[in-house]
Structure 1
Amino acid sequence: MAEITPETVAERLENDEELTLIDVRDAADFEEWHIPGSENVDVYEDLKNDPDSAAATLAELPADEELITVCAAGVLASDAADMLEAAGHDAATLENGMNGWARVHRHAELEADIDGELIQVARPGTGCLSHVLISEGDAAVFEPSQYVEEYETLLEEYDADLVGVFDTHAHADHVSGGAKLAERNGVPYYLHPADASGIEARSVEDGDVLEVGAVEITVIHTPGHSPGSVTFAVEDEALLTGDTLFHDSVGRVELGVDAGLEETNVEENAETLYESLERLRTVDGDPLVLPAHDPGTPQPPVAARLSEVKDRNEAFCQDRETLVAALAGDIPDQPANFQRIKLANVGTEEISDEEADELELGPNRCAAE
């Protein structure tokens, strides 16, 4: 049975190559989270309990297409691929299934007028976006995933030395690799103290100016999504907004409350977020807005100028009363395992690497819908 790596699938999708992804999980799991463009052929139970029925269903798929079978971990999908091959189809299995898809990282340079390079690292399986700033041989990593080797490899490619790791806030939807990456490389980990309950981090406060090579980074405290949320302004060229501001929506305001980490309430947080968005609306110039997530399957670069975000993001430009009512009253589904992820990222709960893999599987849900 042939296998295809998630990285190869991501590259082929990025290049608009034709391939047919057959997701054999049950319909509910597929609806919750799947690779865009994939087709759900729900033979999950039949693969376990009635293989002949599963084989008959799969045999009806087009015989002239390359078929890639997908399941959660690649096990039952391999059985499906064997059945397809036995029926004369060209079939392979996505290695490690959706678990493997969640680990894929892709990167691309952004067009930014700075004395250095600004690189975006995207996880198409989760919607997470990280950024790497390199100037004069020094590098800073913003919002790294738990898979820190991805960033170390990237820095080797650019022959850059890591000097700092930054998180805009304690995330609720994915396990941060910030502290781990910093510790492995003997550099500071920067996080606002309001979000660093039990984790060793160097404090960043509103108005702080930090340097990476020849590039200045200014800290803008933008609470609301979390008490310690900040935006990092990369000179006048980019705003790393975390989960405060996305291209088409704004951050949620209830996750920290529901996790038991905040003494405020949802309405107070919504008011606070409005004020933070007001600060970002009035930033000088027209910088790139670079959030920590994208709701789709991001292929880098994912970027938009502030003026464009103002034009297309209705929530960003709403009046206080309308926005507060929407954020406090229309709360979407919560991210999977967000309480434990949040506790891990503020440093009050330890989780193993294996647990971290399991906890963050699934779609991103840190944006208000």
Structure 2
Amino acid sequence: MVTVLPVETPGLGDRTYLVHDGSVALVVDPQRDHDRVTALAEAAGVRITHVFETHIHNDYVTGGLALARETGAAYLVNADDEVAYERTPIRDGDVVEVGAMRVRAIHTPGHTHTHLSYALQADGGQVAVFTGGSLLYGTTGRPDLLGPEHTDTLVRAQWRSAHRLAAELPDEAAVWPTHGFGSFCSATQATGASSTIGQEKKTNAALTADEGAYVERLLAGLDAFPAYYAHMGPANAAGPTAPDLSPPSVADPAELRRRIEAGEWVVDLRDRTAFAAGHLPGSLNFGLDGQFVTQLGWLIPWGTPLTLLGETAEQVAEAQRELVRIGIDRPAAMATGGPGDWSGGEPPASFGRAAFADLKAALDAGDGGPVVLDVRRDRERARAHVPGSVHIPLHDLPGRLDEVPEGRVWVHCAGGYRASIAASLLHARGRDVVAVDDGFDRARDLGLAAPAPETADDRQETSA
């Protein structure tokens, strides 16, 4: 009996898989912090002998090479991928035996040119396929991450790859993708936590629409993706080492102030309520309770020294673990406690929090009204927005702070998380801000925003 054990990485919207027959195991698409996988294998009493990569990833730094070296496993990467390390090359049609299991490589270009899916044969049949960034739940991986010059070729290849999988695998075969659980590698919002080839034939746009309709629908649904993606492919081709998760050095208040004044990023990991109530002046808020690593990796100028502030050492360790997954390996420093411990006697900074009802009251009061800053992405704003609001997507805000009009700024997003990040960026620049910590549906209910027509296959929009 074969067992498939998913290893979730919700901060990035990805999955790794440990698959075993009770004795030996294979791993598909391991994350950088591969100790989670080895711990799972140890608990199951199995030995990892093979590590498979579906593609050179664009949204995280792989742990595959380090895991293979640590365990002595074969590291299987497409023979056509240009990498700087020794690997076991694998090509379309190759079959690898892993204990009682047989794994067949299937070339499924679309997310990348060299993408492979892996069909798993065990227990007398083809029981599953690991689809990486090819066939996802209800959608497919996005085809535009390698640049616009490749997008048209890849999107059409993605449609053909989906049809190849549907044709070559039985309806009962389980579909196990790497992306699609909130990952920006997903072309549109994936649906569900599990699926089969048969279910995808009924529900996946790549399998229910003709090629032209699929291409048009998918390309229309694409939105921005995180800036740090540009660094992931080169890091994975170079061969990432195992991460260092040891604690950084502890910074005292004088060092924290020096780092802030030098233009470094000092990031407060507490939730947005605590941050608004009181924080170290000049620090920025990326709470661990939201899309921490995606948003921080998207906004920080790559290579900027980063200091982490947490209530506990455990919070800092959690943040470190998330950061190594995108190649931010060693924080410059850390500090724990609260604003009183970090400020050296300096009064804490704070700013206001509000709901959309408060914003409506401020707008109804007249006198020109407050500045309203919408930091949602383009597709979110296209569906509905507050009339007269200024729109600067959060990922553009660090470079466009000077475009925010003078006066008190009320910042909103879809749920409050991104608004707090934006408010902290503005407040660190000396601006008077109010963070709207409320769901945007409430703005609709209050008549602050009129809904626009929905578009097909809108990208995932978090409640952040």
Look up the equivalent residue of 1:271 and give its one-letter code: R
What corresponds to 1:271 in structure 2?
Answer: 156
The answer on 1:237 being equivalent to 2:127 is yes
1:296 offset after TM fit, Å?
A: 4.4
What is the Cα deviation at residue 205 of structure 1?
Answer: 0.7
Superposition RMSD on alpha carbons, in Å?
2.9
Residues 184 and 238 of structure 1, relative CA distance in 2, 3 Å threshold: same
Kindly indicate whether residue 245 of structure 2 is the aligned counterpart of residue 338 of structure 1.
no
Question: 2:33, 2:324 within 8 Å by CA — same for their partners in 1?
Answer: no
Seen in structure 2, the aligned counterparts of structure 1 residues 336 and 359 have a Cα distance that, compared at 3 Å, is farther
Q: 2:52 aligns with which of 147, 157, 166?
A: 166
2:13 aligned partner, one-letter code: G
Letter in 1 for 2:226: P
- Kept in 1: contact 2:26–2:49 (CA 8 A): yes
Letter in 2 for 1:243: G
Q: Which runs of 5 or more residues in structure 1 are unaligned?
A: 1-114, 259-263
Structure 1 contact 247–313 (Cα < 8 Å) conserved: yes
Offset from partner CA, 1:146-168 (integer Å, 9 cap, x none): 11111111111111111011110
Quick check: 167-176 or 199-208, which moved more? Answer: 199-208
**How big is each residue's C-alpha offset from its partner over 1:173-225, in whole Å with a ceiling of 9 and x where there is no partner?**
11111111001122211111333433432111111111111111111110111
Q: Displacement, 1:130?
A: 1.0
Secondary structure (helix, strand or coil) at the match of 2:212 reads helix
Displacement of 1:250: 0.7
By how many angstroms is 1:227 displaced?
A: 1.4
Q: Are 1:219 and 2:105 matched, yes or no?
A: yes
1:257-300 residue CA offsets vs partner (Å, 9 max, x unmatched): 36xxxxx6211111221211110121231211110023349xxx
> Which residue is equivalent to 2:21?
135
Equivalent residue for 1:357?
324
The alignment-based identity, stated in percent, is 27
The alpha-carbon distance between structure 1 residues 257 and 198, as it changes in their structure 2 partners (threshold 3 A), is farther
- The residue number in structure 2 matching 1:178 is 64
Q: Deviations over 1:306-357 (max 9, x none)?
A: 1112222223322111222334454321134001011111227889758852
Contact kept in structure 2, 1:238 and 1:288, CA below 8 Å: yes
Per-residue deviation, residues 41-88 of structure 1 (Å, max 9, x unmatched): xxxxxxxxxxxxxxxxxxxxxxxxxxxxxxxxxxxxxxxxxxxxxxxx
Describe the SS at the equivalent of 1:231: strand
Normalized against structure 1, the TM-score is what?
Answer: 0.60
Match of 2:432 in 1: none
Which of 212, 232, 246 is residue 136 of structure 2 equivalent to?
Answer: 246
Structure 1 residue 125, shift from structure 2 partner: 2.5
Is the CA contact 2:6–2:17 (under 8 Å) kept in the aligned structure 1? yes
The offset of 1:256, in angstroms, is: 1.8
Please list every run of at least 4 consecutive aligned residues from structure 1 whose deviation after the TM superposition is greater than 6 angstroms: 348-352
Q: What is the CA–CA distance in structure 2 between the aligned matches of 1:237 and 1:278, rounded to whole Å? A: 18
Instruction: Give secondary structure in 2 for the equivalent of 1:225.
Output: coil
After superposition, the Cα gap between the structure-2 partners of 1:330 and 1:296, relative to the gap in structure 1 and judged at 3 Å, is closer
Q: TM-score, normalized by length of structure 2?
A: 0.48
The question of whether the paired residues in 2 share the 8 Å contact of 1:336 and 1:359 is answered with no
Distance 1:284 1:351 in 2: 36
State which of 211, 217, 222 in structure 2 corresponds to 1:320: 211
User: Hey, what's the Cα distance between the residues in 1 that align with 2:28 and 2:147?
Assistant: 25
1:191 to 51, 67, 77: 77
Which deviates more from structure 2 when the two are superposed, residues 162-171 or residues 320-329? 320-329
Question: Which amino acid in structure 2 is aligned with residue 233 of structure 1?
Answer: A
Which of 202, 209, 224 is the matching residue for 1:311?
202
CA contact (8 A) 1:344 1:350 kept: no
Query: For residues 105-138 of structure 1, what are the alpha-carbon distances to aligned partners after superposition, in whole Å with 9 as ceiling and x for unaligned?
Result: xxxxxxxxxx322211112222211111112511
User: Which residue type is aligned with residue 204 of structure 1?
Assistant: I
Change over 3 Å in CA distance of 1:138–1:350 after alignment to 2: closer
CA–CA distance in structure 2, aligned partners of residues 165 and 293 of structure 1: 18
SS at match of 1:271: helix
2:193 equivalent in structure 1: 302
Q: Where does structure 2 lack aligned partners over 5 or more consecutive residues?
A: 184-191, 246-302, 304-322, 329-394, 396-456, 460-464
Decide whether the 8 Å contact of 1:250 with 1:316 is kept in 2.
Answer: no
Aligned-partner Cα distance in 1 for 2:56–2:28: 12
**Residues 182/351 of structure 1: CA separation in 2 closer, same or farther (3 Å cut):** closer
Question: Post-superposition shift, 1:302?
Answer: 3.0
- How many pairs align? 244
Say if 2:22 and 2:45, in contact at 8 Å, map to a contact too: no
**Greater shift after overlay, 350-359 or 310-319?**
350-359
Correspondences of 1:73-92 after superposition (within 5 Å): none
Contact 2:169 2:197 in 1 (8 A): no
Structure 1 pair 192–229 and aligned structure 2 pair: CA distance change class (3 A): same
Structure-1 separation of matches of 2:202 and 2:139: 12
- Match in the other structure for 1:282: 167
Alpha-carbon distance between aligned partners in 1 of 2:196 and 2:325, rounded to the nearest angstrom: 35
